[in-house]
């Protein structure tokens, strides 16, 4: 049984503080949350959290120093901390700007209350979980909680073996010569191959910038099931997916905010690619592990371009990259280049696009009503990001950004334009 293993090169950027030269991922949390009508019992929540750590050994791991670097080492028992706080909206805004003490546990939980409304928040160290496995973990938490409240005694399988890191799973999937050649190309590539246009950093140096407790902002657009179905129908009528349509809308809205007023500009989308679906057999979402890597798509966008045209081009580029297995090959090559001392600069991205996909509504105890659920992850230095997902049949378009870099007024304008465009599509 694997009670300990090295933190892999892919995982290490989340556990090592590399300073300004590194990616902004050190100790980054992934938050997932449920807003419900009802009052969960903190004692039952603690029992459900304990069951999660029993079932997922990576959640009861601690980071240790080994002879050749950092290790994940499984502990016998871990009780994830649960903090109960008053207030929801303002409290949650401050919470997502905090960083838990990961030495105590790689999983933390909060119960925020306001009258009959409650918000359950799970915070997971991003080094051991991505957004997709975090949502699966939230679903599992509510399964245990609902069973406990009903008087049952759920007993999930207690696991001891740590899941293998995604880059370790991919090792050997490509010929060494191919990865070496790609690593050499990365090392020799010029620093500025494409001039990517980005939104102006209007927040930089502002005297009235928000406090650190409100630096990272999450603005949500959530649509009813009926409007969601209308948007889906509008996307299908244009021959694109909802994600592609929203991507095209984001690109055209960003282009409209940039100078010069006429002519095309080069924009680059950053995408999160779930590598668990690239394995044979696929790794189930129930495996708590960070399997997300990045992919960039670059295209020329003009003021008069149709959103569906831009979205379709991005989707075609992503499909081609997946067919070539670019996400896997470039991840392995980047890690190999890094092992040779090649500094990997942050890619210049106009906007990030996070396609979470369809997430079914999770179970709740009898008498409790689900109002909404979602998630967020952000860090200094990251570009603004649009999340697109369907939660329980409701379309969510979520804008996440660093308000010390991008002004809230600028971001509100972008989101309201998206709201108007999607609402217009739904009533066509």
Tens digits of residue pLDDT in 223-241: 999 999 999 999 999 999 9
**200 band by pLDDT with thresholds 50, 70 and 90:** confident
**373-411 tens-digit pLDDT:** 999 999 988 899 999 999 999 999 999 999 999 988 889
Packing angle of the helix pair 176-188, 326-339 (nearest 10 deg): 70
Tell which wins on pLDDT, 192 or 88.
88
Residue 202 has what pLDDT?
66
Task: Give the least confident one: 32-41, 113-122, 399-408.
Answer: 399-408
Same fold, 4-149 and 192-426: yes
Whole-number Å distance between alpha carbons of 9 and 20: 18
**24 band by pLDDT with thresholds 50, 70 and 90:** confident
Whole-number Å distance between alpha carbons of 142 and 49: 10
CATH topology of domain 4-149: Chloramphenicol Acetyltransferase (3.30.559)
Choose among 107, 420, 413: nearest CA to 288.
Answer: 107
Is pLDDT of 23 > 80?
no
Strand order across the beta sheet in which 117-125 lies: 82-86, 107-114, 117-125, 29-37, 369-376
**Running DSSP on this structure, what letter comes out for residue 303?**
T
Q: What are the tokens at 90?
A: 């303002």
**299-346 tens-digit pLDDT:** 999 989 999 999 999 999 999 999 999 999 999 999 999 999 887 767
The domain at 192-426 falls in which architecture? Answer: 2-Layer Sandwich (3.30)
Domain spans, the chain? 4-149, 192-426
Task: Compute CA distances 167 → 8, 164, 245, 294, 376, whole Å.
Answer: 7, 8, 32, 13, 24
Judge if pTM exceeds 0.85: yes
Whole-number Å distance between alpha carbons of 118 and 371: 10
């Amino acid at each position: 049984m694997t009670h300990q293993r090295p933190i892999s090169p892919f995982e290490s950027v989340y556990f090592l503080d590399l300073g300004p030269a590194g990616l902004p991922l050190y100790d980054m949390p992934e938050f997932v949350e449920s807003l419900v009508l009802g009052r969960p019992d903190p004692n039952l929540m603690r029992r459900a959290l304990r069951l999660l750590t029993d079932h997922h050994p990576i959640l009861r791991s601690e980071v240790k120093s080994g002879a050749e670097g950092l290790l994940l080492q499984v502990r016998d028992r871990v009780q994830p901390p649960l903090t109960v706080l008053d207030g929801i909206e303002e409290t949650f805004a401050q919470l997502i700007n905090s960083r838990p003490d990961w030495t105590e546990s790689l999983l933390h939980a909060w119960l925020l209350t306001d009258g009959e409304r409650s918000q359950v928040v799970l915070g997971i160290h991003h080094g051991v979980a991505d957004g997709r496995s975090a949502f699966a973990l939230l679903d599992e938490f509510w399964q245990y909680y609902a069973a406990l409240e009903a008087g049952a005694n759920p007993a999930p399988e207690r696991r001891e073996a740590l899941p293998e890191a995604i880059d370790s799973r991919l090792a050997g999937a490509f010929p060494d010569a191919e990865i070496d050649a790609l690593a050499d190309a990365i090392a020799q590539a010029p620093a500025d191959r494409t001039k990517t246009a980005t939104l102006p950093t209007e927040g930089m140096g502002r005297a009235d910038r928000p406090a650190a407790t409100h630096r990272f902002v999450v603005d949500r657009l959530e649509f009813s099931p009926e409007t969601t179905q209308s948007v889906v129908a509008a996307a299908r009528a244009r021959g694109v997916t909802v994600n592609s349509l929203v991507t095209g809308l984001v690109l055209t809205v960003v282009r409209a905010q940039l100078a010069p007023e006429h002519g095309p500009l080069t924009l680059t989308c950053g995408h999160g690619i779930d590598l668990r679906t690239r394995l044979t057999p696929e790794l189930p979402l129930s495996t708590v592990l960070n399997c997300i890597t990045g992919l960039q798509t670059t295209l020329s966008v003009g003021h008069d371009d149709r959103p569906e045209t831009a979205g379709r081009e991005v989707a075609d580029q992503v499909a081609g990259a997946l067919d070539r297995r670019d996400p896997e090959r470039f991840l392995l090559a980047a890690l190999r280049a890094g092992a040779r001392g090649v500094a990997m600069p942050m890619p210049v991205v106009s906007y990030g696009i996070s396609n979470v996909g369809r997430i079914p509504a999770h179970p709740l105890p009898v008498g409790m009503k689900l109002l909404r659920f979602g998630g967020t992850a952000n860090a200094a230095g990251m570009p603004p990001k649009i999340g697109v997902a369907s939660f329980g049949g409701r379309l969510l378009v979520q804008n996440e950004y660093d308000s010390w870099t991008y002004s809230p007024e600028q971001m509100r304008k972008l989101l309201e334009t998206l709201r108007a465009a999607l609402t217009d599509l739904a009533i066509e």
